[in-house]
Every structure is written in C-alpha cells, then in structure tokens.
Structure 1
Amino acid sequence: MSSIKCECGHLNPEGTDICQNCGRPLSTEEKSKKLADMRYDGAAIRSKTHQRTVVDKIWNFFSSVKIGVSIIIAILVAAAVGTILPQVFYIPGGGANEAQTAQYYEDNYGIFGQIYNALGLSDLYGSWWFMTLVGMLGISLVVVSLDRGIPLYKSLKNQRVDRHPSFLKRQRLYGEGQVDDPDAVMKKAAEKLKEQRYNIREKNGALLAEKGRWARWGPYVNHLGLIIFLFGVMLRALPGFYVDESMWIREGEILAVKGAPGLYLENKGFTFDVYTQENTDEVFSEAIDRVGTVASNYQTDVALYETPEGALPGSTNAELVKEYSIVVNKPLKHEGFHIFQMDFKLDELSAMTFALENKETGESLGELTVNLDDPQKDYDLGNGAKVELLDYYPDFDGFENGEPQTKTPVPNNPAFLFKMTTPETPEGETSFVAIRQTLEPLGENTHKLAFQKAETRDVSGLTIRKDKTIPVIVLGGTIFMIGLVQGSYFNHRRFWIRKSENGQVMVAGHTSKNWVALQRELDAVTEYAGLPAYTDQRDKEAQTDKPEGDSKS
C-alpha cells in the first residue's frame, strides 16, 4: 500500500486520517471536520484500506461490526427457537437412537416436530451449524480486535508530545491566550497535573499529561474474554471434555457408565425413606398432611468397576474401584466424573408368574415365570404341557390396525402373546394376556394363563457429568468482567499544553468518556496555574450564549 507524506515529513500508511507524528489532518474528510476523530487517534484501519484480494474481502467480512452483530442475533434466535420443544437429552431414551428420536418428535409434535428434528434444533448445541455460528463469532472477535487494536496500540505508544497547533485546535476542549510567564505557567500546570496522578512528558516547549490509557483496552479485554469463553464452549464438542448423560439402572444390574468408557456400575440396592408423623418436625408434619408422603432420603448403593489399562476393547474383565452410597447432592466422584442421584422408580415389574389352567375345571398344569428383561421363547411345564411366547410388548399401548403396540421397551404395562399346548389340545391355543385383560383372537380356548404373582425391583435414575471446560469458561467470563469494568468505569484522559515564542499558551483536552470529570480537572489546573480559559467546541453556539468570562460549557 502507498504511504501518505505529511507536511512534517512523516510517512503515514494509506488510510491514516491524522498524522501519527504531528497530528495534522491528512484525509479530505478529516480536514472538513470541526473536531478531530480520536476514536483510533486517526490511525489507518486495515479493513478500510485493504480491499483488493480474496484475503482482504474475507478479513473485511469478519471485521464488520454489522456482521458480528448479525451473528450474535442469529445465535440468540437459534437459542430461543431451541427452547420451543424439549432438547433431545430430555426425551425418553435421551436420543440414543436416531430413529426413535425422529419417531418421538413426529408422534408428539407432528410435522412441526419432524422439521424441528430434521433441522437439528432438537440437539441445538451439538448441531454442526450452531457450532459453526459460534466459531464464526469467535473469528469475528479475533479479526475485529486485531483490525482496530493494533493500529490503536501503535498510535498511543508512539504519540508525540509537541503536536501541531492544528491538532490542538480540533480537540473538543480547547483554549489559547496570552500569559505573562509561559514557563512558570507550564511548570505550575505540570505540578498540578502530577498531583492529579497524570503522567507528564515535556519536549520543545510542549507538555503531554496522560492517565488511564489502559481503560482504552477494555473492549479488547472483553473480546479476549469472549474468545476464551467461546473456545471453552466449542471444547464441549470434543470427546472427553464434556459429558452430560443419564442412565436408569435396576437393582442387581451391571451397566456401562454412559460417556465414561471402561467404567461399569452395579446397583447393589436402592433405599427410599420417608418422614413420618412420629419422627419429624412441624414443617414436615404439615407437608405430610397435605401431600401424604415426603421423602427423607433416597440413595443408591453401588459398586464401581473399571477395566484395566491396556485391556482389549469390549473386555468385561473389570476391577472393583470402590463401593459408594450415592445420595442426593453427594455424588460418586472418580477421575473427573460425577455420578448424581437424580430420580427413581419404585416397584418396577421384573418377573411375572402364570399358571396354565383348565378353564372349566380350574386344574393347574404347571406354572411358568417370565423374566421381563430376558423372556424365554419356550416354557416346558411337563406332562406334555408347554407354552410358547410368540411376542412380548413391554409397555402395551393398545391396538393399531389389529396389531398390539408398545410405547417403550420398559416393562411398565407388559402384555404377551402365548401359544398353549397340552395333551388335550396338541394343535395349540393362542391367548393374548395383558394386565387385567385376556383375549382369545382365534376363538374360545380350553385353557388359560392365570396370573399368580409378580416380582418387582426399584430403579435408580443417575446422571453422569464431567466438564473439563469449566476452568476455561470461568477464565473467559472473569476476563470479560474485568474488561467490562475496565472500559465502563475508567477512562483515558489527556491534556496537551503548548507555548509559543510570543507568550501565547495553547491548551487542549480529550477523554474517552466522562467529560464532566475532565473539565473539573482542567478547571483546577487552570485556576492553579493561570492557564487561558477554554471552551467546549462541541457546541460553540451554546458557549457564546454564556456570560462573558465563563470558561466551560
């Protein structure tokens, strides 16, 4: 890129509005302005000057504030739409099976549910397009910070003390006038400014007083915090960094821990205790009267197993790690994993026993017990009597087009289709048996399966969590808050004082915000050192309406 040569001889990059050496306006637009544009101290911004190559166009796209705001709006809208229907981890089965997930949204929410799931809104925070939006926002923050931050840093680091009079005259606070002893006035002004904690630099009859420069970096610290925060969010998509799973485990059952390869959990027993009128205080007594039952404790006694290091994939040779009682708010902890007690089901059916009887005489030909977790196909009762299980419906939900249906694989309402064979009926008889319902679809039978008893067990609902991204997210949030305080409650203030050979003294002031405080400090310096009166040039007309001798707006 070509350079712009100022009258002082300094070469400035193309796009510079204010000479970085003397402060003269360089661009036509800047020369037409009454006040100097001090947002980036007139430094050249890459996105404003480089617009030729593909790289420039990509850079300019991500450096656009409008694009950044649009991405933020898109993320907010997507997050809002993601709350319309339950996310996949809240539905039965937790979305482990894509076909079941799609069927769930279609059955419960119709065409809208189908579209919702197809667009990935059912698993919003894990969808590729949402992570792409988050990544684009991170790129935008990086590009914007570099695009504006580097020129601002160079401009502030290399700012000269003896700025050209045209620079001073274009500051919002400006004054000039004749004084009796310019050197004495400059000396007293420096003393007062030091008292106000300004850093003073003097050169060639000019003075620069500055404080709070670090406040200018507040927005960039915000950007850094957001970038770290978004990086932490995106880390959650990588295996091993974030786990939030749930599992139901029955008493006596051993299951692999979801999201924790190599870990297995055995449910050794579930305990459920309630408050009684005899062993509780008045508060719980009122609750018991109102709702009937108030839980005092529910816990799962478990054994945690882990496959040895170096074991072959799928190996079941696991070693006992520990035994523990998981209680609400007292999770089992192991290698960053936290296993919480979140829910329970009491008295879930585990087995049902039936007797094969002659309907007319009531004679029993034997009994069979169906394990609802692993039902057998054939049951031999002896003496030529046997029962064949043709089909099993764990959660019977009625008939559709004459076919029995099941809602879930959980034995909440089991139903069976049996074929009964006896010496009297060698061709077999078919019977559909459900709780409080028996159907004979092929005609009246001679025999029936009479319910005898049921075995139950308790089921524990556990949540498995692991989050290695928390330190990164907390760090990003902390840095963001520091930047917010830095940019909101502090400000960058500067005064320039310059004397000329004819006894004239010029004074100018600028701040990033809080002009009232800057004027208050300049008033104190003016009164102490005898500086010329200044005006607020943002509104000269209002200034001229004030009584003569008033030194500020």
Structure 2
Amino acid sequence: MENIICACGHSNPYGTKLCEKCGRPLTEEEKQNKVVDMRYDGMAIRSKTYNKSIIDKIWNFFSSVKVGITLIIITLIAASIGTLLPQEFYVKASDMEKGAYYADVYGTFGKIYYTLGLSDLYSSWWFQILVGMLAVSIIVASLDRGIPLYKSLKNQRVKRHESFMKRQRIVAEGQVTGSAEETLDKVAQKMTEMRYSVRRDGSALLAEKGRFSRYGPYINHVGLIIFLGGVMLRLVPGFYVDESIWVREGETRAITGMDGYFIENRDFILETHDNKPQGEQVKQGVNVVAKNFQTDITLYKQPDDALPGDTENLEKVKDYSIRVNHPLKEDGFALYQMDYRLNELKQMNFELINKSTEKSLGKVEIDLTNPKKEYDLGNGSSVQILVYTPDFDGFENGEPQTKTSIPNNPAFLFKMTTPETPEGEVSFVEIMQPPLEPLGENKYRMKFAAAEMRDMSGITVRKDSTIPILFVGGVIFMIGVVIGSYWNHRRLWLQVEPDGRVLMAAHVNKNMFSMKKDLDAVTAFATLPPYIDQLEKNEASEESTNGGNKEKEGDNTL
C-alpha cells in the first residue's frame, strides 16, 4: 500500500489520519470531525490498517481490546472455579488416594471435580495455555498501539497547520495586544513556571507537561507480562518445586525434586499439651493437643561423580531439627515439617509352630518396608513369602488386594517347609483374622509373636525461583497504575501569524479541569484571547437545537 502524500509534501505511512509534520487531516472521516482523535496523534495503527494475510488476522485478533477483556474474564472465572474445593496441594493423601479423598469428602461433585482435573487446575495445560494467550494479547496490543504512540510523541513538531489547531478541543483565536515576540516570551515564561517543557520554532511555541503519563498503561502491561511469565515459568523444571515425601524413623531416602540430596530421619519428636480434647480428638479418644512436632534429620549430598540413586559415600551436609515454620533451607530449597503419622508398623515377628505340640521351629522377623522372599530357620525348615499385601483389602478373583503401599493392615501368603512337610504347606495370615489354609489342613502354622513400631514424618520440599519475578512484575504493574491514574499529558500550541493573529490550541488526555486551570493562568498573564471548549459548545448547540425542535413540534400540535 502506498504512502499518503500530504499537501505540505510530507510522506505519511498508509493508515495515518493526521499528517506527521503539519497535522492536516488526511482521511475523509477526520476532515468531517470538528475535534480530531488525538489518542495516537493520528498515527497509523497496524491492526486498524491491514487485514489481508493470515498474519494480519492473527495480529488483529490478539490486539483487539474485546479479545483481551474476554480472555481476562475467562481466566478469572477459571481461577475462581479452582477455589471451590481445595487444590491437591492442600490434600494430605498420596496420589493414589486423592481421587478417593475427593469422592469421600465431597461426594459426586468432588468426584467430577477431580475427574475433570479441576483439583490441580493452576498446573493444568489448558489453564497455562489460557494464561499464555492472555500474555500474547497484552504483548500484541502494547506493540500495536505503544510503538506508534512513542513515535508520534517523540517526533511531534512545534509548528502545526491551522486546520490542526482549529480541530483541537480547546481553541482560541484573536489579535495579540503587543509584539509577537513579547507574547511568546510571556507564554514561555509562565508555562516554564508551571513546570512545562517549552519548545519554540520561530513564531510558534509548544509547551508540554506529563508526557510520561501516556506510557502508564504500557508500563502496566509490562508488569503484567512479567507476572504472567513468572506464572508460566512454574512449569519449567527447576524454577518451581513443590513435592512431598514421607520419611520413616531410621530411613535414608532421596529427596524428591532435590537432585543429589538425601535425608535421614534420625528421630521424630512429638510434644503435647495435657488439656481437654477438642473437636475431632474427642471422636478419636485423644486427650492431648500437639504443642510441637519436629524431625531431627541429617542432610546428605552425593559426590559430583556419583550415579543417580547411589547411596554410597554420601557427604554429610548438616544436622537439623525441622519444626513447624522452621524449615531447613539449603541450595535454594526449603524443607518443611508438614505432617506426621505415629506408630506405623515397622517389623512383624512370627514363629513357625507345630500345631500339635506347640513347639517352635524358629523365629521370622519381617521388615515390612523391604521383606525378604525367604527366611531360613535351619534344620531343614524355611518360610517363603509368596504374597505380601501391606494394606489388605479383601480378595478379587481369588487374589489378595492392597489399598495402599503403607503397612496399615499387613497380610501374608506363607509357604512353610519343614523336614516333616518337604513339599511345603500354604497359609494366608492376616493379623486380625484366623489364618486360612487354602490347600487343606496344615500341620504347622505361623504364630504372631510381636511387632515393632515407628513414626513417620511428612516433609514438603519447596523451591520457588519465580517469586522475585512475580514481585518485580507486581511492582512494575502498580507503578504503571499510579502513573496512568494520577498524572496527565498536557499540551499547548501557540502560533502568531504574520498578520498579528494568534492561534492557540490545547489538548489533555484526561482531567480537562487541570488543563483549563493552567490556561486561565497563562491567558491572564500573557493577555491571550479567551479560549472555548468545542465539545461543550457543540453539546450546548445540540441541546438548544433539540429544544427548538420540540417547541416547533408543540406549536404544530397546537
């Protein structure tokens, strides 16, 4: 598309409404307007000029204010839906148990909520795409309007054509009382006193104040973009870690999300208040309230040349007591004490007993975390564990099932071999029920002897490298809001023609009262002709015309 050549000879890009040099209107629409549109000083806006190629259409879609507002509303609605029920982050359950938790606690609605992925909404792919589209919309809209605005304000001329001056909202025309130079000097003096920046070009003057306020919304956009970028960076590995691990007393295990680090739970300590039971504790028969619970840990780190998961030659980093609100901080990570479980089964001891004589052939000590497949009792006797279910939940198709991997209700399918029964006998043992002998009556049985208990600590591992980014984005956003809300851009053009006629025009992007206050001061000081507000004049004319028409209609009726 060809450039538009103004009558002054200046070549303007296609789509320009007002000549960049003299300010003449270049389109028929602007020529018909009594007051010109000064939002971008008549500069060409890409989204309002080009609409042919697919790139143009995509650009125009994202630069649309309606599209931006729609995306904001959809994002807010989606974010509010995520607050109807607690997010998975706040649910104290394993990944396998979370679905059952929502169904049990919140019923059918909770089950649907979890199935649709709303329980982990803010990390879902579709919510991140929505946030990304909003960020793209803000970026495109800012570039589409911000760049032309910057160019127009940076390259604005002092001298303007008479048609430009007379199409401003505030205009004045008359004869100077003194010399042109004296009038311009007085105006420049007064405007400088009022902290305007004054530029002169021969018999023309431009006084400007608060230009930076025009960039307030774009500074606002920059803050939003940085903030949304910080939100999206949470999906990038290494920027945001929020994991939970359970560590049993005496156990050393790798820290999820914290590569190369291991944690050893040396001891769990629970301190209580001896007072009356409250709330849920009454139902559970508990008559104490926790005063403090902490985990005494040792933090280890792998050598740099170690293989992943290798626990040999771990280097001790530090000993620490993790308490509520007193996390262990290391290498940008924080380890919080979030939960605990008391008296978890650690080990179960059985004896192989002759049912007729009650004689013991030996003891079997089963580590419930890592049980052996076979235990040799000597003298030709042994016990094999054919099936182990940590949390027995009945049979399905003849096979024992487990609800979780936590040893809440252990059950075993034993194969017992003795010199008297070399082919072995099979027995299914659940502590709370009599043993089952699926292959017929046995001569031997597994007798429960004792159990060892231990406590577990729930540790949350967190790292959020996006917090500084979110903070910076929020601060920049607020700076943009303040600039755009409490300052305004004021301009005054003054030209003295060779015949002694003076033309004055003024524009302000908002708060016209402040501009008129300054105009009153400079008009009185430099003895300038009185100004008029063309919008108010036009509104008054329309009201009087409408009133006259109504009177005529009334006369005709009579």
Place the TM-score, normalised by the shorter chain, in its bin.
Answer: 0.7 to 0.9
Per-residue Cα deviation, 1:483-539 (whole angstroms, up to 9, x for no partner): 111112111111122233444333222111112222222222233333222222223
Which residue does the alignment assign to 2:548? Answer: none
1:465 positional shift: 1.4
**Stretch deviating more after TM superposition (223-232 or 178-187):** 178-187
Distance 1:202 1:229, change over 3 A: same
Q: 2:403 aligns with which of 401, 407, 414?
A: 407
Distance 1:180 1:287, change over 3 A: same
1:77 positional shift: 4.1
Distance 1:232 1:176, change over 3 A: same
Matched, 1:171 2:168: yes
Matched, 1:304 2:333: no
Which residue does the alignment assign to 2:198? Answer: 200
Aligned counterparts of 2:504 and 2:540: Cα–Cα separation in 1: 17
Which residue does the alignment assign to 2:468? Answer: 471
Aligned counterparts of 2:186 and 2:382: Cα–Cα separation in 1: 113
Matched, 1:329 2:313: no
Aligned counterparts of 1:62 and 1:288: Cα–Cα separation in 2: 53
Per-residue Cα deviation, 1:284-312 (whole angstroms, up to 9, x for no partner): 99999998323222211111111112334
Which residue does the alignment assign to 2:272? Answer: 274
Q: TM-score, normalised by structure 2?
A: 0.85
Which residue does the alignment assign to 2:495? Answer: 498
Distance 1:288 1:466, change over 3 A: closer
Aligned length: 537
Per-residue Cα deviation, 1:264-285 (whole angstroms, up to 9, x for no partner): 11111111112347xxxxxx99
Matched, 1:389 2:385: yes
Aligned counterparts of 2:413 and 2:183: Cα–Cα separation in 1: 106
Aligned counterparts of 1:94 and 1:55: Cα–Cα separation in 2: 47
Q: 2:506 aligns with which of 509, 528, 532?
A: 509
CA contact (8 A) 2:91 2:98 kept: no
Structure 2 matches for 1:114-133, cutoff 5 A? 123-133=120-130
Per-residue Cα deviation, 1:34-83 (whole angstroms, up to 9, x for no partner): 21111111001122223344443443333233333344344334434445
Which residue does the alignment assign to 1:147? Answer: 144
Residue type of the alignment partner of 1:224? V
Per-residue Cα deviation, 1:346-376 (whole angstroms, up to 9, x for no partner): 1111112234456677655544322111123
Equivalent position SS for 2:51: coil
Residue type of the alignment partner of 1:198? Y
Distance 1:440 1:200, change over 3 A: same
Which residue does the alignment assign to 1:293? Answer: 288
1:256 positional shift: 0.8
Per-residue Cα deviation, 1:143-162 (whole angstroms, up to 9, x for no partner): 22222111111111111112
Q: 1:224 aligns with which of 209, 222, 225?
A: 222
Residue type of the alignment partner of 2:298? A
Matched, 1:457 2:451: no
Distance 1:289 1:259, change over 3 A: closer
Q: 1:378 aligns with which of 362, 374, 380?
A: 374
Distance 1:112 1:327, change over 3 A: closer
Residue type of the alignment partner of 2:527? G
1:230 positional shift: 2.5
Equivalent position SS for 2:470: helix
Which residue does the alignment assign to 2:23? Answer: 23
Q: TM-score, normalised by structure 1?
A: 0.85
1:460 positional shift: 0.9
CA contact (8 A) 2:390 2:405 kept: yes
CA contact (8 A) 1:390 1:418 kept: yes
Matched, 1:341 2:353: no
Which residue does the alignment assign to 2:258? Answer: 260
Task: Give ranges in structure 2 of 5+ residues lacking alignment.
Answer: 544-558
Residue type of the alignment partner of 2:256? K
Aligned counterparts of 1:57 and 1:73: Cα–Cα separation in 2: 22
Structure 2 matches for 1:411-430, cutoff 5 A? 411-420=407-416, 430=426
Aligned counterparts of 1:4 and 1:105: Cα–Cα separation in 2: 68
CA contact (8 A) 1:431 1:438 kept: no
Distance 1:545 1:147, change over 3 A: closer
Which residue does the alignment assign to 1:68? Answer: 68
Q: 1:190 aligns with which of 182, 188, 198?
A: 188
Which residue does the alignment assign to 1:79? Answer: 79
Which residue does the alignment assign to 1:243? Answer: 241
Q: 1:319 aligns with which of 311, 315, 319?
A: 315
CA contact (8 A) 1:213 1:492 kept: yes
Per-residue Cα deviation, 1:413-441 (whole angstroms, up to 9, x for no partner): 22233345567766655443334222526
Structure 2 matches for 1:3-14, cutoff 5 A? 3-14=3-14
Distance 1:359 1:521, change over 3 A: farther
Distance 1:541 1:9, change over 3 A: closer
CA contact (8 A) 1:181 1:503 kept: no
Please tell me the root mean square deviation across aligned C-alpha atoms, in Å: 3.6
Distance 1:346 1:241, change over 3 A: same
1:32 positional shift: 1.8
Aligned counterparts of 1:145 and 1:431: Cα–Cα separation in 2: 74
CA contact (8 A) 1:288 1:294 kept: no
CA contact (8 A) 1:396 1:414 kept: yes
Matched, 1:531 2:528: yes
Which residue does the alignment assign to 2:46? Answer: 46
Per-residue Cα deviation, 1:208-251 (whole angstroms, up to 9, x for no partner): 11111001111111222222223323333222222111110111
CA contact (8 A) 2:93 2:101 kept: no
**Stretch deviating more after TM superposition (300-309 or 37-46):** 300-309
CA contact (8 A) 2:347 2:451 kept: yes
Which residue does the alignment assign to 2:436? Answer: 440
Task: Give ranges in structure 1 of 5+ residues lacking alignment.
Answer: 278-283, 547-553
Distance 1:286 1:107, change over 3 A: closer
Residue type of the alignment partner of 1:264? F
